[in-house]
Every structure is written in C-alpha cells, then in structure tokens.
Chains A and B, each alone.
Chain A
Amino acid sequence: MSWFGRLTQGLAKSTKRLTDNITGLATGTLPLDDDRLDEIEEALIAADLGPAVAGRIRDRLADQKFAKGIDDAGIRRVVAEEVEKVLAPVAVPLAITRRPQVVLVVGVNGSGKTTTIAKLANRLKADGKSVMLAAGDTFRAAAIAQLKIWADRVGVPIVAGDQGGDAASLAYDAIRKATDAGVDVLIIDTAGRLQNKAGLMDELAKMKRVIGKIDATAPHDVLLVLDATTGQNALSQIEVFGTVAGVTGLVMTKLDGSARGGMLVAAAEKYRLPIHAIGVGEGMDDLQPFDAAEFAAALAGSGD
C-alpha cells in the first residue's frame, strides 16, 4: 500500500476531524461566510497547525472571492492548495552526493530516531547505496541492541560500543571505519534529548564538533526526527536543535496514526528546512519521501 493510502486510511479510522468539520457544515454550494471560515480555522487548529498559521490560512481563504459560493469538496481543495503552497518548497528528498556521506540523526526521546535510521538504511540500500550504521545512543538501555537488531535485519554493518560510552568518540571511530570501508552513507544514531536540557545539548554540539574534526564538511546531513503526535513544541525543537546541531532537514514519524502532523506547515513557514521523509508504520519499508501535494491533500481530507 502506498504511504498515501496508509495516511488516508489512518485518517479514515480516526475521527476525521477536518473532513468531518467541513462536511458537517453544509451540502451544496454556499458562500464562504464567517461561520464556514471559523470552522475551517478550527479544523486546521485541530490538525496541529497552531492558531497563528490556521488564522493566516483562514485570512487567505477569506481574501479569495468565491462569487458563486463553494461546496465542501471545493473548500477542501482550496485548503489543500494553501497548505501545499507552503509545503512545496520544502519537499526535498535526501540527496546522497558524497562518500562517505555522514548523516547524524537527532531528536527528543521517543520520536523514533532508531526506527527511522533502520528504515532509511533499508531505503538507501534498496537504491543501491552501501550503508553503515553507528549506534550513538549510548544512554538509553538496550538502544544499541535495538539498532544492532535492525542492522542485522536490513543487512548493513554497524559500529557499536558499550552503553555509557562516549558517543562522540564512537562517531569518530565510525567515520574512520566508514571511510576505510568506502561505504556511501554512514548514519549515526544519537540519544534522545529534550531541547531544553543544556547539558545534553552541549554533548550533541560536542559530538558534531568531533565529527567535523575528521572531515570538516561532516556531518553532511543532520536530520531532526519529529513525532507527528507532538504539538506546538515541535517548533521549539526545530529552533533549538537547529541552533545547537545545525539541523539540515526534517523527518516526521508516526503519520500512520491519527495525528495529522500539521505543525510541519508552521515549521515550513517559519524555518524553511527541507522535509525529507515521513514514517508511516513500524516496518522497514514504511519510510516515504515527503510529497507536499499528497500531504496537503491528506491534511485537508481531499485525497479522494
């Protein structure tokens, strides 16, 4: 099943807020009055776009003239168009251009970094790239074991140390090994950390510095993994991880659930960071390139 299928299926099973809200309004063609605009705004808020962005999209819709009125499908279509306009410029796939390309994966606890790494490795491998993993989460119990199991399943080599070890020096070793082995991509896992923990963020900055010592251009990508379930705090995550770790792109996970991930719209407006991929399931194949039009359509419920 395509990711879009999964996404809309998830939507169908959940409360279908946006579709319900808009559909519940009226059948037939009616002017886009304040009541309907209010409903649209609320539906967008309920999809985690945040009150500010939802308000702006509402204003944009209000500015458009629908002289003959507009029906539900029409509303969903224009909402999707507005959302797509914001997202289209940031829908950029992860490009592999160097060897070894060093990809550092960061994020708060439980956002899905380790699983995303496995999926990413699987996808890159399927594209014919050689991949190596580095088990840089030396803090969480059994995080190393978890990534080892994934490396085994995907069939890629892994560099791992012991729990409690120094993540920065592990990353250093991993880059040397990746260079010696001539792999295309090295993906480095990191421990989850809340962005307001200064000490842990310092550690991340150090890890990045150490990586830069062996290759001044590395890490070439710093991926921030965002959980679709997260609300407005995602913006704070992008801001702080961006400053400390120099995030170059986003991956959003858990979009197969009932969460719509609408804060990506707010994030795209504010930070303009590329959104590389989305996670739509627990399986190895459940990572898909981010497609602005499809995402916008799913968000607005105009997929079909």
Chain B
Amino acid sequence: MFDSLSERLGGIFERLRGRGALTEIDVRAAMREVRVALLEADVALPVVKDFIENATQRAIGAEVIKSVTPGQQVVKIVNDCLVELLGGEDEPAPLKIAVTPPAVVMMVGLQGSGKTTSSAKLASWLATRERKKVMMASLDVARPAAQEQLRVLGEQLEIATLPIIAGQTPVQIAERARQSARLQGFDVIILDTAGRLGVDEALMTEMAAIATATTPDEILLVVDSLTGQDAVNVASAFKERVALTGVILTRMDGDARGGAALSMRSVTGAPIRFAGVGEKLDALELFDARRVAGRILGMGDIVGLVEKAAANFEAEQAEKMAEKLAKGQFDMDDLRQQLGQMKKMGGLSGLAAMMPGMGAAKKAMDSGAINPKLLDRMEAIILSMTPKERAKPEIITAKRKIRIANGSGTTVQDVNKVLKMHQEMANAMKRLKKMGGMKGMMKMLAGMGGMPGPDGGAGGAKDTGGPGGAIDLGAVGRMFGRPGLGSLPPGFNKFGRK
C-alpha cells in the first residue's frame, strides 16, 4: 500500500523533470498508477475505466507549471476530474422539501447500509437546521425490531414517529404515514424502508410499489462507504426501479478510501447529498466532493483537518494565543491548551487518520505502539505543575521534576519529554511568528490556492502542490508544533516509545 498517489507517481516522472507539456506516453504511464490507486480505493472497474479515459484526454498536452513536478501535475488533473465528477466544489443542492406539505423523503438501500440511523440523522438535521416539523415512519417489516429501533431513535431525538401497527404491509404503512402527516401538519415525512438486495425481485417490486403509492419528493439511496466493486451493481439495480434523487454515504468516519462514492455518483447520476460521519445522531455532514476526492486518491483529508481545527479553535483562545505569539511566548498552559484542542479534534488517531503520509503513525497507534492516552498523560503532567512552573518552565529543577512526576503518576523521563516537547513547540511558535502569526496562517490554510510550500519542509514538500485543493501541509504541521509531516509532533515520537 502507498500513502499518496503523488509519491507513487514521483518515480515514474523522475526522468521527466524539467520538460514542458505532458506527452501521451507519460500520461498513460501515470494513469496506470492512478488506475491501481482507484481500484485499491474500491472504485468500481467500469467507472475507473471511463474515468481514466477522460482524465487521460484532459492531461495529454497539459502544460506542466513551473515548480511543480509532472507527477504532481497529473495528480492535480486527476483530482480536478474527481472533484468535478463527485459533484464539484459547491455544496450539494438542498433537498426538495419546499413543496405542499408533507414532503415525502424515501430512504432505500441494502441491508446494513445504515438507512435507519441515516433516517434519524436526516430527520434531526431537517428539524434543527431547517426548522421543519418532521415525522419518521419505518416500513421495515422484515428485520425483527426494525420499527422499534426507529421509534426509540425518534424518542431520543424528540422526532415524531408513526405509531406501529402490527401486520400492515409497507405500502399500507406508507399511505398511513402520509395521511397522518397531512392531518397533523407535518412538513416532511421520512420513510425508512427495509434493506433489500438488488437481486431480490420481490422486494425490489415492493420498493417500486411504495414509490408509486407515495410519489416521494426525494428518494435517497443509502450506501455504505465501505462498499467495494458491488457498488455499481447496487446503484444500477436501485436506479432501474425507482427515480433516485440523491445518495447518502454512510460510515465515512471509517478508514475506507470511499471509492464507492465515485461509483455511486457516476452510475446513478444523482448527487451525493450527505455523509454519515459517526454513531451519534448529529453526525451527518453535507457531502464535500473536494475532501472525498483527496481521500480516494490517498491524499488524506487535509481540508477536513483544517475545518475541524478551525471549528474547534475558539476565537477567544485564538486571540490570546495570537497575543502571546506576537511576543514570541509559549508557556506550559499554552501547551496544555493545544493538547486540549487536539483531544477535541478526535485525539491523535483521529488527527493522524486525516493526514496524508500519516498511515504509519496511525498504524502504530492502532497496534498500541503509541498510546492514544498520551494526551491525557501529558495533560496530567502539566496539571501537576504549579502556575509559576507553567508560566516559566525553565525554573523546573530536578527536585521539582520528581514532585511533578509523583503528582502525575508518571516518571521523570516523561516529565522531561513534555518539557522537551514544549521547548520544541515554543521554537516552532517563534518560527511561526516570523511567518505572520496565527492569523496569517489560518488565512493561508483557508485560502488553499494550491500554493507550493513556502519552505518545502521535510515530508510536507512531497505532498504539497499536488491536487488543486492542496494546501501548505508544513503550515498545518506547524500549527501543531511540527516542522513537517510524516513524523509525529516533536516530542511525541519519543514519548510514544516504551
């Protein structure tokens, strides 16, 4: 397995350095690697073939921009094509629910794709974000306790569910749902249907009958992002029987590369509207083509990382930090705050999963070589320091170190590692200050103009400048006090080893 497509393409294009336009032979050679990358990401074969053909046509003859390697140029073109195919840069169009109420949203999909959970998440989304009065109804009479499951979820979310009447057929339930939604003045009704296989003629006919009876305004196909080559069969089987208007991709919080997104999109032609990103009932996001494109290509979810970082970084703290940075200060309390931010962002493994080139670190964490509880331990160490020590770590003598170690249940070596890490982060912050401080950096991150890294630092250089959405990874790294990617933050790597 490889971490990044641009790394992989690097070798192929080494001999090309400095040449002008991409020739057909070069492009075809590169596309063979792209093809394998897409297949490894579970994009369905027929979709891969079409995609490669289009991308090849676009890449042949393209000028290689100065300061970018031909490999990176190809990755950029491939990435652009991917983003376009996945739905473009814009947010997906909103659901068509502004109709004479009740709007009917029907959820369909295979068994276990996540329809019931997605129904509840969508209901909650519409109720909270769009202030709609939503009712859910389970038409799943096949799986034991499926209707009960939706009822419980409705209770948790305070979303109405249609009372369960045993013995009714799915079509009868759907009709009853529509009727009672109309009478009770609901804006939207979400119909959660039973899971069915595309080859199950009886159930596919039933699904079509439900759609005919209720004329849904939206029919959303719920697809597991872990899906492999079968995605194309699933998509066409459902598309043949009902007029799909959108796709919800579930389990995007998993570590699959999510090639199913591309398969779904190109076979159904329907936009991917939402991504399910967790077990909690608010873990639903608008689908972001740019992010998923990067993930399919193995470029990491950098945009996601930045967004998450930005959302978590409370403005007030940012300001305080900026002030201190302006003075070139960075004390232990700041370090603790940073650790807190990291924890909020899903801890080390969450962070690592989102960064390209971090596959190894993540594996180390999964295998237990690096303890994800590291953050807690480091926090404990800092909390065992006096306020004075935190403000001025240089006063920490050997004797104080022993006290801190005892207080935090760690060893002096651990305390030393935290101090070392603080030192390295403080240095990094000083460097950052020279670059224009936190505000400048955040702006730079938000811009993401595909700029080459300013310093071409360490592991960052390899990954930057690739796809259109490329950002300065060095800067992201520095935000967490790291000079470059491909390694853990300073101090972390040493700390993790036992």
> A residues near B, CB below 8 A?
9-10, 13-15, 42, 45-48, 50-51, 108-112, 115, 139-143, 145-146, 148-150, 163, 194-198, 227-234, 236, 240, 243, 254, 256-260, 262-263, 282
Contact = CB atoms under 8 A, between A and B. Distances in A.
A148 B148 CA distance: 13
11 contacts: A109-B251, A110-B224, A142-B149, A146-B143, A229-B228, A231-B256, A243-B366, A243-B368, A257-B198, A258-B199, A282-B111
B53 to A, nearest CB: 15
Contacts of B150: 141
Nearest 6 pairs of A and B residues by beta carbon? A231-B228, A110-B112, A231-B42, A142-B149, A149-B144, A259-B230
B347 interface: yes
B123 to A, nearest CB: 14
Contacts of B362: 196
A246 to B, nearest CB: 13
Contacts, number: 168
A143 B145 CA distance: 8
Contact of A196 (B149, B153, B366): B366
A259 B152 contact: no
B149 A140 contact: yes
Contact of B145 (A50, A145, A230, A232): A145
Contacts of B199: 9-10, 13-14, 256-258
Given A47-B229, A50-B40, A258-B199, A229 B114 contact: no
Nearest to B144: A149
A269 to B, nearest CB: 15
Nearest to B237: A258
Given A198-B366, A254-B111, A257-B230, A231 B149 contact: no
Given A108-B251, A229-B230, A240-B366, A254 B197 contact: yes
Interface of B: 36, 39-42, 44-45, 110-114, 142-146, 148-153, 156, 197-201, 224, 226-231, 233-234, 236-237, 251, 253-257, 259-260, 279, 347, 349, 353, 362, 365-368, 372
A227 B112 contact: yes
Contacts of B347: 198
Contacts of A108: 226, 251, 254
A48 B251 contact: no
Contacts of B233: 14-15, 258-259
Contact of B228 (A14, A111, A163, A232): A232
Most buried by A among B44, B353, B366: B366
Given A111-B112, A139-B279, A257-B199, A194 B254 contact: yes
Contacts of B146: 142, 146
Contacts of B143: 115, 146, 282
A91 to B, nearest CB: 22
A239 B236 CA distance: 32
Contacts of B230: 48, 228-229, 231, 257-260
A46 B44 contact: yes
Contacts of A163: 152
A141 B148 CA distance: 8
Contacts of A260: 229-230
